[in-house]
């Protein structure tokens, strides 16, 4: 093990507080005078990414690249020695097909090795991809290029609060990362210049089926599915966090490359994924515990486990910095009937505060238009000052008949009974409610919304088979149904057309993976339900004891 230099360890004391910026002293790396970390000193991952993406570690900024290189796809641009990426935007597919000039730095015999995490891009997936790419780049003798790719669009990163928070703490600038919408893996594969290493998943979605033959290695921590697993070297072990397996690979293969920044990335991720190594939860395996302890022994100044876990948990569910559109998209489910689409979003804040957001009505209209939604149902979830769970509902729909039908079904429902009480709202086309029965989660709400859609269409039926709405002319009803029928592409489900973003689960499988079982899932809503059930049982026990 090589000695740890001061630039690896940093000079400040570890500090874990959600909302603290890069300008605070946190001990994760050195900074420049402006408060930004120095790419050449603060982080090994940054030192890996800088030459890949053409960023000068000393200057910490981008420089202009020759015009001949600007038309190259993102992976080719990064291979231009001494130059920087001029634009983060991907080249249109038509431009790829024209055959852009290839820089001399990327030869036919030297493919780009992409380390790809899963489509959820939770903290485990992101950190595993970064750390494994770092290890491979450091231990491969040949001048191969290893690029960690986050398997989401760049615009989706803010929805993953724990990822953003951790990147800031470890001093990895987001500008150095490359996202799925910034690299055309299919074009690289067709050119014979792609090698894929899958980490934290081993099943590619249907849209990436063509890339299976490019997969050279798999590192995952879930049970293997033989029917879907690529025919390559597969390393799978059932542990709580994939970052544990990456840590094992580094410590067994090249322990001398491990510094404090890499250790902090892996250490924090394992702790979050394994729920602070809590034996009662049971997610942490002996191997997870073993490597957390090894990292702590090698770097005694790593932040305390409780501090790491609490801060990452808070960051995961923190929505204070999100726009209304991002808040609605962060934890969204969708149902549809006869082309009418209903989006149901869970938001972890008080409904009154949500309804007071500036420009909310315009934002709701824009969200529905952008996502082809006819109805938007928002379920807010939070704990009051007495630490009691609270649920509230808001139904937004510009079409009065459809909105009234949905609200009527929800209000009259007895199985389950939501115990709704109308709440004040100044927004047009929006009905707000206080939900008295906090046991009715969004999962239980979905069948009621499906029932409401069926009731709406049943009420519009006339003998000719054409739907009609009471109080609305046949011409108006036809126009409305035409509009609703065009809100989705015929024959495509919502998942196929525009898959919803997952709520950044602690351990995720890619979409359509048949292995969605095993270790328990702990989303914010599941935690809320558990707390709500405990609160209810305690109240019942207290009332019985009084009797």
Which tens digits make up the pLDDT trace of 26-39?
A: 334 333 334 443 33
pLDDT digits (tens, 9 = 90+) for 153-188: 999 999 999 999 999 999 999 999 999 999 999 999
Average pLDDT, rounded, for the chain? 74
Of 81-85, 93-97, 235-239, the one with minimum mean pLDDT is 81-85
- Name the pTM for this structure: 0.63
- Contacts of 420 by beta carbon, 8 Å cutoff, 6+ apart: 393, 410, 411, 433, 434, 435, 436
Q: Which helix (H) or strand (E) holds 278?
A: none
C-beta of residue 181 within 8 angstroms of C-beta of residue 149:
no
C-beta of residue 344 within 8 angstroms of C-beta of residue 445:
yes
Statement: residue 131 has pLDDT above 80: yes
Q: What is the mean pLDDT of residues 217-228?
A: 78
pLDDT band at 493 (very low <50, low <70, confident <90, very high): very low
C-beta of residue 222 within 8 angstroms of C-beta of residue 236:
yes
Percent of the chain with pLDDT over 90: 50
CA distance 505 to 126: 12
Of 13-17, 68-72, 130-134, 415-419, the one with minimum mean pLDDT is 68-72
> Which of 87, 78, 117, 270 has the alpha carbon at shortest distance from 196?
117
Look up tokens 């940054």; give the residue.
46
CA distance 460 to 410: 19
Predicted confidence at residue 526, as pLDDT, reads 64
Q: How many residues in total does the chain contain? A: 547
CA distance 469 to 537: 45
Predicted confidence at residue 536, as pLDDT, reads 63
> Which of 344, 378, 368, 367 has the alpha carbon at shortest distance from 450?
344
Predicted confidence at residue 316, as pLDDT, reads 87
Alpha carbon separation from 421 to 335, 425, 441, 450 (Å, rounded): 25, 13, 17, 21
Predicted confidence at residue 224, as pLDDT, reads 75
What is the greatest pairwise CA distance in the chain?
Answer: 84
Predicted confidence at residue 122, as pLDDT, reads 92
Statement: residue 114 has pLDDT above 80: yes
CA distance 216 to 190: 16
Of 207-211, 283-287, 381-385, 448-452, the one with minimum mean pLDDT is 381-385
Look up tokens 């088979």; give the residue.
465
């Amino acid at each position: 093990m090589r000695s740890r230099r001061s630039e690896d360890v940093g000079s400040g004391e570890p500090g874990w507080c959600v909302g603290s910026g890069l300008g605070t002293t946190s001990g994760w790396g050195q900074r420049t005078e402006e408060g930004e970390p120095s790419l050449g000193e603060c982080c090994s991952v940054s030192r890996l990414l800088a030459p890949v993406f053409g960023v000068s570690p000393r200057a910490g900024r981008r420089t202009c690249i020759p015009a001949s290189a600007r038309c190259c796809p993102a992976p080719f641009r990064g291979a231009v020695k001494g130059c920087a990426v001029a634009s983060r935007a991907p080249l249109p597919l038509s431009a790829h097909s024209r055959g852009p000039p290839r820089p001399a730095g990327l030869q036919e015999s030297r493919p780009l090795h992409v380390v790809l995490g899963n489509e959820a891009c939770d903290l485990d997936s992101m950190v595993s991809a970064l750390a494994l790419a770092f290890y491979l780049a450091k231990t491969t003798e040949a001048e191969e290029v290893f690029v960690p790719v986050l398997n989401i669009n760049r615009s989706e990163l803010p929805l993953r609060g724990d990822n953003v928070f951790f990147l800031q703490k470890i001093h990895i600038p987001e500008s150095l990362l490359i996202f799925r919408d910034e690299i055309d893996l299919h074009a690289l594969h067709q050119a014979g210049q792609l090698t894929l290493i899958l980490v934290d998943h081993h099943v590619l979605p249907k849209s990436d089926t063509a890339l299976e033959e490019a997969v050279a290695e798999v590192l995952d921590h879930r049970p293997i599915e033989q029917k879907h697993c690529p025919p390559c070297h597969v390393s799978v072990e059932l542990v709580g966090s994939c970052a544990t397996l990456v840590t094992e690979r580094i410590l067994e293969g090249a322990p001398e490359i491990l510094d404090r920044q890499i250790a902090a990335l892996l250490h924090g991720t394992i702790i979050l994924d394994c729920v602070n190594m809590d034996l009662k939860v049971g997610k942490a395996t002996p191997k997870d515990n073993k490597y957390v302890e090894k990292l702590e022994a090698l770097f005694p100044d790593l932040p305390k486990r409780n501090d790491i876990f609490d801060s990452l948990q808070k960051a995961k569910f923190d929505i204070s910095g999100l726009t209304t559109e991002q808040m609605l998209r962060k934890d969204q489910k969708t149902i549809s009937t006869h082309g009418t689409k209903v989006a149901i979003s869970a938001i972890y804040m008080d409904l009154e505060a949500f309804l007071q957001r500036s420009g909310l009505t315009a934002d709701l209209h824009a969200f529905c238009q952008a996502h082809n939604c006819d109805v938007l149902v928002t379920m807010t979830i939070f704990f009051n000052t007495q630490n009691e769970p609270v649920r509230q509902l808001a139904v937004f729909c510009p079409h009065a008949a459809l909105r009234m039908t949905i609200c009527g079904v929800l209000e009259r429902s007895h199985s389950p009974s939501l115990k709704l009480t109308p709440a004040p709202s100044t927004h047009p086309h929006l009905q707000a409610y206080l939900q008295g029965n906090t046991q009715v989660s969004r999962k239980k709400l979905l069948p009621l919304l499906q029932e409401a859609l069926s009731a709406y269409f049943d009420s519009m039926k006339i003998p000719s088979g054409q739907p009609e709405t009471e109080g609305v002319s046949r011409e108006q009803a036809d126009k409305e149904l035409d509009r609703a029928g065009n809100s989705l592409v015929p024959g495509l489900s919502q998942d196929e057309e525009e898959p919803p973003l997952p709520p950044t689960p602690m351990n995720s499988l890619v979409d359509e993976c048949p292995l969605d079982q095993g270790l328990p899932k702990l989303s914010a809503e599941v935690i809320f339900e558990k707390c709500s059930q405990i609160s209810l049982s305690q109240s019942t026990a207290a009332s019985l004891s009084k009797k």
